[in-house]
Amino acid sequence: MKSRAAAALLGNIWYKISAIFLAALFWYIVQGEEILEVNRRVVVSFDIPKGMVVKGSQTRFKDATLRGPRVLLGEFSTKPLEATIHIPEGKTGPMRFRIDKEYFNHWDSRIKLTVHDPYLIVTVDAKAERRVPVKEVFQGILAQGLMIEKTVIEPDMVTISGLKSEIMKIKEVLTEPIDIKDLSESKILTAALARTLPSDITIPTEKVQVKILVGEQKVNKKFPNIPIEVNGGDYKATVQPTTTTVEIQGTQAVLSFVKKSDLKAFVDCHDLAPGSHQRDIQVKIPHNTTLIESLPAKASVEIYNQKRVN
């Protein structure tokens, strides 16, 4: 019984093996010719000439559908497809590209590629650097009676780089708000630079040191009708107007001791010949005060052709 079954199984063995081989081959061909569609994400990168830069992200994304024989699509994993756009040498400004097979390496023409929203517009410009000042931004109010006399930032200039057309618009770089609420003494604080610039502009420096010099709050005080004197010159002279109003600044304690007689206003006539002239009114003020302005700031001087008598 067993010998009959074995004989039946092994009889014409080569024909049976050939039949199995042909069946497998036909199955493979049929499966390979079956047309499938798969969706994939496309990662678009740029090959940029030296010294040039693309505005915005250096990588863009698109969605695509691939249609072709199963045997070919099986070579594509679930990983995104990679496309590379070669930016032409020497060209700048907005450029429009249509993402197609030409941007993929070794693309099999038997696979149909459909990129959804295939057009991509990029702006290309020369890469440039520029140094701009850093400006501090404060929030809050100092302790009562105090004021910021001076701030020192280190470094006070930073180098930014990016598209030439973009960085030329940047006049300064701001810090993140620095909290000075109830600050009562001079202090050195670390401040981060605010990320308010376009993303494609880079700043190597991320933080700066801000030295805040705190002093007693100052007030302004006006002194009217300060006589204008004529200084120097060999000729008789008159001045119009004859008085000016002087405004100075200082602490409340200092200004409380300043008297009108402590201020002097004059015009310098050393180099003036006879005739009519316009001169700046110069002012001498007490120590520890600052001149804000004098009104008027100029005076008319009439020099007569007559020697002064000393």
* 128-216 is classed CATH 2.170.120.40: yes
Spell out the residues 6+ positions from residue 6 whose beta carbon is closer than 8 angstroms to its own: none
Better pLDDT: 296 or 32: 296
* Domain residue ranges in the chain: 2-32, 33-126, 128-216, 218-307
pLDDT for the residue 250: 93
Partners of residue 151 on adjacent β-strands: 212
- What distance in Å separates the CA atoms of residue 115 and residue 267, rounded to the nearest whole number? 80
Model confidence, pTM: 0.57
Task: Tell me what the pLDDT averaged over the chain comes to.
Answer: 88
pLDDT for the residue 25: 53
What band does 70 get if pLDDT is binned at 50, 70 and 90?
Answer: confident
pLDDT for the residue 33: 58
Quickly name the fold that domain 33-126 has. Answer: RNA Polymerase Alpha Subunit; Chain A, domain 2 (2.170.120)
DSSP string, 223-264: EEEEEEEEES-SEEEEEESSEEEEEEEEEHHHHTT--GGG-E
- What distance in Å separates the CA atoms of residue 35 and residue 131, rounded to the nearest whole number? 59
128-216 and 218-307: identical CATH topology: yes
- Is the CB of residue 301 less than 8 Å from the CB of residue 276? yes
Give CATH for domain 218-307. 2.170.120.30
Closest to 254 in 3D by CA, of 217, 307, 206: 217
What band does 9 get if pLDDT is binned at 50, 70 and 90?
Answer: low
Q: Which of 26-40, 101-115, 158-172, 249-263 has the lowest mean pLDDT?
A: 26-40
